[in-house]
Amino acid sequence: MTKNDLVKAIAAQAEINNAQAAKALDAFIAAVTDAIKGGDKVSLVGFGTFELKAIPAKEGINPATGEKIKIAASKKPVLKFGKAYKDGFNA
């Protein structure tokens, strides 16, 4: 499913036009991004929690040369799905 397909699905379910659905989806993405960049968690009960995960620095190996390299610490956004949401796929 592409973003365009998602916009159409949102528009159909919410009974709004595609432009309004696209604007709402973009606003949702921006709000979640701003919140987790600011260090907050975004919890959607029944769906999951968006948060920023710290990845520590580590040593890796360059597969082309076999040389050891240092991989810098970083942060990555993650989505942890809620139990109720996951259980819905195994019903």
Task: Give the pLDDT score at 24.
Answer: 97
Number of domains in the chain: 1
Structural domain range at position 27: 3-87
Q: Taking the CA of residue 89 as centre, how many other CA atoms within 13 Å lie in the half-sphere pointing to its CB?
A: 7
Q: Count CB atoms within 10 A of the CB of residue 36.
A: 20
Indicate which CATH number applies to the domain containing 70.
4.10.520.10
Per-residue confidence at 90, pLDDT binned at 50, 70, 90? confident
- Write the pLDDT tens digit of every residue in 20-59: 999 999 999 999 999 999 999 999 999 999 999 999 999 9
Stated pTM of the model? 0.79
